[in-house]
Structure 1
Amino acid sequence: MKTYDILGISIKDHSVREALHLTREYLSYNSPSVVCFLTKDELLAASDSEEYRTFIEEEADVTMIATSDIFKAANVEEKGRAREIDRNLYLKGLLRLLSRERRRIYLLTQTAAHMSDLKNLLGTFESALQIAGTCETADISAAEDVTNDINTVTPYVVFAVLTGKEGVDFISTAKKFMNARVVVMLQPEMLKVREDGSVKQGFMARLSGRLFKRVAGRYR
């Protein structure tokens, strides 16, 4: 594990081997651990929010950089990790583990479009996953209802695509009552991938990248 300061946020970055080892341990725990993927948009939001920053630095058990251009923009030299990130090796390895051990998973999104994209993403990497339940809800503030639905199927892993501070607030609250072992927080911009597993980055992602690079330059 290495620690980087990106946009004033202390980020603990794990190799794929380390992250998968930790996740396997978490699957034996009785309370949920949180794996949080960090995109440029999430880091920009966290740089302006003390609460968001605290969640990343203190509440998330594992933080994973979502796209390697974050390292480049922040002037971090990590070629080995960049290759792991670009090929989405952690997510591939986790899904392979869950499929092989027939572990139940649950999918949570805020829109039907994100649910469709999430299913496509997971299916691209592993076709034999045990999806025990799904939930699409625009009102993620209804934490108790969503948590109760999750608890009816007792999944090992919840894959959640929740945006912004609202998503962070939900996870912070719901994980105290959630009958799951791991919550993997994904972001909408991660859901479209190429055949090699790398994240597709369209016009909005490139625009966000330019903003991120400009903001990151202020912290050097």
Structure 2
Amino acid sequence: MLTDVQTWLQQPADFAAGAALYAAHGTSSVYRQLFARGETSYSRQLLVRELQALATREADEAPKSPTLEIVVSAPVVPFTAPEPQKSPTPTTSASEESVRKVRAQLKALRDERSQTHAQLTAPRLARKDRLQLALRILDIGDEVLAAEERLAYVQQHGQLPPGPVATADVTDAGELRRRLDNLVALRSKVRKRPDRAVELPQIEADIQLIREKLTAIVRV
């Protein structure tokens, strides 16, 4: 049927043949009656349209040869769990360690000074003991000042200050006189402290050494 309809559509001159094709294969009784009445311009247009619809519908409904569907499987990629990243181990720089040490020294000195101050107010404290406590508080004050200077140096330079130059290696007259003044004041303080009597020989030796070096510088 599809071939007959397509052949007529290629040369739709014979209206009666087209009407017969629709009467044989069409589905609308109204159109059959219309086409049986004869040809008009409207009925011809309608006949061509309906036969084209029949041909198209049968072409769509015709069985199609099966096509081979090729399924390509995606390659299986094994899953590898990412290795857990280790958090970096925090490191402490040398300057931070130096700051920590100096601050610990400062805290210990201040705690000792507070405790020593508290002991001064103890009842029935002997005068000699009270004097020793007072002298110790003075010594702690000097040590606190020195520690604060070290802390400021570390915070500015990132390292501890270099150790003091040995008196035997000092050649500057101004530095020698400064050390001499400090040693003379220290000697006076130590002489009042029986518990520090062992320091006197070294202090006396340093004073003598500085005086000899100053004498040599003056002679030059």
Range into which the TM-score falls when normalised by the shorter chain: under 0.3
Larger radius of gyration: 2
Which of the two has greater helix per residue? 2
Normalised by the length of structure 1, the TM-score is: 0.21
Higher relative contact order (CA 8 A, sep 6+): 1
Higher fraction of strand: 1
